[in-house]
Amino acid sequence: MTTRTHPLLILFTVLVYIFLAGPLIIVFGASVSDTTYLTFPPQGLSLRWFENIFEISAFRRTIVTSLELAFLATGLALLIGIPAAYALNRYRIQLPTWLSTVFVLPILVPEIVFGFSLLKSVAVGASAPIFLALLIGHTLIVLPYCVRVISASLASFDFSVEEAAISLGSPPVKTFFTIVLPNVRSGVIAAFILAFITSINDVSTSLFLTGPGVSTLPIQILAHVEQFFDPTIASVSVLLMLLTIMVMAIVERTLGLTFLAK
Amino acid sequence: MKKRYAGWILASPATIAIGLFLILPVAATIASTFGDEKGLLAPYYAFFNSGFRRGVLWRTLEISLATTAISLVVGFLTAYVVAKSPGRLKSILIIAAVFPLLTGVVVRSFAFLILLGKNGILNNFLVGVGITDQPFSMLYTQGAVIAAMVYLFVPLMILTLVGVLENIPEDVVQASASLGASPAATFRQVIFPLAVPGLIVGAVLVFTGSFTSYATPQLVGGERQMVMGTLMYQRAMVSFDWVGASTIAAIMVVITISVVLAMSRIARRLNPMAT
């Protein structure tokens, strides 16, 4: 597209980006304020609200739970998602077309309905431990990302390379790990990152799946905001934003930031 | 030979997981609304006979439709500028839209909460500039919920539409210009129709996302702006009315899936490049 852009349109775009960045900058400012209430611009400069996060045991506990959950759910989703993505591409002709629709279902069903249904059927119905129910929920909501991103990588992989290796005597399983997987490395990394971020930030699925002593960080944040309105939440938010920056830096290192632009 | 079943074997763990832990539980939730002794559809009569609950459904539809419409306009105009920007600036603008998207819903809703609060930044600013004498509460209004939802979904819309606009072949646009169409005419008659399928995809994402949301209406709207998500939570976890909550869940599933199916059909029919 080579036509020139109208100046009013450029002004509008600038305003949209200010609207997008503004609230996050305010959160950052409020988190370092030396006051007991939320304010911006910050008055005084202090990191005590960051220390306060770790003094509240509910935050310490839920940060650990959320990290465990994100790593385990992502790992499990990759474990069952990679073979599924491989099958969907390699055996496309043998498998029915509805099968790929099945892997979209976790996105299609409202997350809050899914979380409530897991509470009814798995946590109460099968009296599974809350953490297990959370793990099942998180694994399923991140699964579509794993299958779709890795499928997209596999779509451009030339399976005749794999056949050549096998016909030269390499065992199929070994061929998968030495020939196929390294070729879709970037897809696996992208899937891992997307899945991890989705799990860490999830609210709707986890909402119903909290019990005595078990909760996730976003749910704890919601509970805390309703009782206290102090800068602690701003500090936790900044921690989560730092995590996002870290993730983007990892993407930049491994795949190049242009990857995000796709 | 087992080769014939290799595809099924590899796909089965994920397929079984979805069947067992997603399809079955959600089906059970929906089925539980039809087992009432007062009649097959009694929970649905109860829902639609309650003026309060009808009001919640109506409000949720209003909020999601307004959010979708505003996000479409804002997202499309912004995406148009982003897609036309030169290389380096474009990647910066895209990253600036990815960052909020990767930052969770709770963090962003909270950010909006402190922007709008009574001692919030917006109020301090309005008082400071002299537009109002005393701060007024903008929280817990329908407008606040819509504004927060737009804030939440605009980055998603921008990224979806930049992808769509970049896929429009350069030579189609150039052909239009070389045949004498003004930039405005090219936009109206070439670029916009080609972007329609993408606009529909974006609209579906935003509508279903806002229709089923919980955290944002809970934080910014509170009890006064109850929506389907917050009502369902209240029914299930405060009143322990599981049939009532399941009824709300079923209504949400039906509306979401019908919107997705209807819109994807329309998108397929409207795609000028498909035929």
pLDDT, tens digit, for every residue of A42-57? Answer: 777 888 888 888 888 8
CB < 8 Å to B99, chain A: 24, 244-245, 248
In B, minimum Cα distance to A124 occurs at: B25
Is residue A218's pLDDT more than 50? yes
Q: What's the rounded mean pLDDT across residues B152-167?
A: 93
The answer to whether residue B275 sits within a structural domain is no
Count of Cβ atoms closer than 10 Å to residue A166 Cβ: 15
Decide if B96 and A233 are in contact by the 8 Å CB cutoff.
no
Identity at B247, one-letter amino acid code: T
The H or E element containing residue A87 is helix A57-90
- Kindly give, in sequence order, each residue whose CB lies less than 8 Å from that of residue B168, ignoring residues fewer than 6 positions away: A1, B190, B191, B194, B195
CA distance B141 to chain A (A): 17
The answer to whether residue B108 sits within a structural domain is yes
The tokens for B41 are 């559809």
Is residue B89's pLDDT more than 60? yes
> What is the helix, strand, coil percentage profile of chain A, to 5?
75, 0, 25
Decide if B91 and A247 are in contact by the 8 Å CB cutoff.
no
The answer to whether residue A27 sits within a structural domain is no
Residue with tokens 């039809």: B34
Distance CA B162, CA B82 (A): 7
The band of A1, judged by pLDDT with boundaries at 50, 70 and 90, is very low
CB pairs under 8 A between A and B: 258
From A132-146, A237-251, B125-139, the region with the lowest mean pLDDT = B125-139
Residues 236-275, chain B: which have Cβ within 8 Å of A?
Answer: 236-237, 242, 245-246, 249, 252-253, 256-257, 260
Distance CA B29, CA B232 (A): 13
Please give the pLDDT value at position A36.
78
Between A202 and B2, the more confident residue is A202
Distance CA B70, CA B217 (A): 17
B234 in contact with A, Cβ within 8 Å: no
Highest mean pLDDT (candidates A121-130, A165-174, B58-67)? B58-67
pLDDT in tens, B16-67: 999 999 999 999 999 999 987 788 888 999 899 999 999 999 999 999 999 9
CB < 8 Å to B249, chain A: 110, 112-113, 116-117
Domain encompassing residue A245: 56-259
Please give the pLDDT value at position B128.
75
Is residue B1's pLDDT more than 60? no
Is the torsion defined by CA of A222, A223, A225, A226 positive or negative? positive
Is residue B188's pLDDT more than 80? yes
Residues 34-73, chain B: which have Cβ within 8 Å of A?
Answer: none
In B, minimum Cα distance to A38 occurs at: B114
CB < 8 Å to B153, chain A: none
CA distance A198 to chain B (A): 8
CB < 8 Å to A38, chain B: 114, 117, 119
Let me know whether B62 and B121 are in one domain.
yes
The band of A137, judged by pLDDT with boundaries at 50, 70 and 90, is very high
The band of B3, judged by pLDDT with boundaries at 50, 70 and 90, is low
Please give the pLDDT value at position B183.
82
Identity at A118, one-letter amino acid code: L
Let me know whether B78 and B192 are in one domain.
yes
Distance CA B175, CA B162 (A): 21
Specify the number of domains making up chain B.
2
The band of A40, judged by pLDDT with boundaries at 50, 70 and 90, is confident
The answer to whether residue A12 sits within a structural domain is no
Let me know whether B134 and B29 are in one domain.
no
Tell which residue, A124, A112, A248, has the closest CA to residue A190: A248
In A, minimum Cα distance to B184 occurs at: A3
The answer to whether residue B126 sits within a structural domain is yes
In A, minimum Cα distance to B168 occurs at: A1
pLDDT in tens, B91-133: 899 999 999 998 989 999 998 888 887 666 777 777 777 777 7
A177 in contact with B, Cβ within 8 Å: no
Please give the pLDDT value at position B258.
94
CB < 8 Å to B26, chain A: 109, 113-114, 117
Let me know whether B14 and B86 are in one domain.
no
CATH number, domain with residue B205: 1.10.3720.10
The answer to whether residue A5 sits within a structural domain is no
Domain encompassing residue B200: 41-270
Let me know whether B28 and B63 are in one domain.
no
Please give the pLDDT value at position A2.
46
CATH number, domain with residue A224: 1.10.3720.10
B204 in contact with A, Cβ within 8 Å: no
Let me know whether B163 and B201 are in one domain.
yes
Residue with tokens 């450029």: A10
Q: What's the rounded mean pLDDT across residues B137-162?
A: 92
Helix (H, G, I), strand (E, B) or coil at A211: strand
A218 in contact with B, Cβ within 8 Å: yes
Let me know whether B119 and B173 are in one domain.
yes
Please give the pLDDT value at position A165.
92
Helix (H, G, I), strand (E, B) or coil at A93: coil
Let me know whether B139 and B11 are in one domain.
no
Specify the number of domains making up chain A.
1
Let me know whether B13 and B144 are in one domain.
no
